[in-house]
Amino acid sequence: MNRNFIFAFVLLAILSTVYALPFELDGLNGINPPLCPVNAEHLTLTVSPSPIVSGSPFTLNVSGKLNSEVPQNVLFNAAFLKTDTFEILGTFSDDICSSPGITCPIPAGTDFSTTIEKVAPAGLPASFVVGAVIVAQGGTTIACTFIEVSPNPIVHGSSFTFNVSGKLNSEIPTDFCASPGISCPISAGTEFSTGIHKTAPDLSHL
């Protein structure tokens, strides 16, 4: 099956958790993996604990600063996905305007952050993807992000990966250019993502 079609189908499933409306299937792009619509702005998403424990409570830390207003009556939809096939392992939906620290509408250019507490689905694999979108009535995707959750902690003497991504207000010079997927200089306001593979030192004697 066409990879972009799979991505589009997954995102459609997330959005249709509550707002079951038509969605544009082509023109998808993004960063690691490329699942977000081209017109969606970028959310910052972290999880705790990391890794998330199957069947246990966890917290999503959601933040952003968008170029467009976040109106009232918008939803925060999220999904757990398999890393290799993007099969949906679980979904949930919240009214983000009712989340702690959020007052809607959120004006364009305003920093916002909140926490969303949930219970993880049972039977999560060692590595998986968490996808999240803010979607308005009518099915418009306002903001979107997908992050990969990998095993943690790092094992002494074993290989591990730093997943690094961002969108900075200043240019990144050529010092960062050797990492996969990076072409320097990176212009200010440009999203970037890379994986840095290393071997952890053996600290078991400490």
Domains in the chain: boundaries:
3-151, 153-206
Amino acid 179: pLDDT: 76
Predicted pLDDT at 52: 86
29 within 8 A of 47, measured Cβ to Cβ: no
- The pLDDT assigned to 151 comes to 67
Does the predicted TM-score (pTM) go above 0.85? no
Region for 158 from its dihedrals, namely left if φ exceeds 0, alpha if ψ lies in -120 to 50, beta otherwise: beta
pLDDT digits (tens, 9 = 90+) for 151-197: 655 666 777 777 787 888 888 777 667 777 788 888 888 888 887 77
pLDDT at 195: 78
Beta strands at 41-42 and 159-167: parallel, antiparallel or unpaired: unpaired
Alpha carbons 94 and 181: distance in angstroms, whole number = 34
CATH number of 3-151: 2.60.40.770
pLDDT of residue 71: 92
141-149/41-42 β-pairing: parallel
Residues in the chain, pLDDT under 50: 1-9, 12, 15-33, 206
Task: Provide the pLDDT for residue 11.
Answer: 52
pLDDT of the residue at 171: 82
For position 108, what pLDDT does the model report?
A: 94
| Contact (Cβ atoms closer than 8 angstroms) between residue 199 and residue 157 | yes
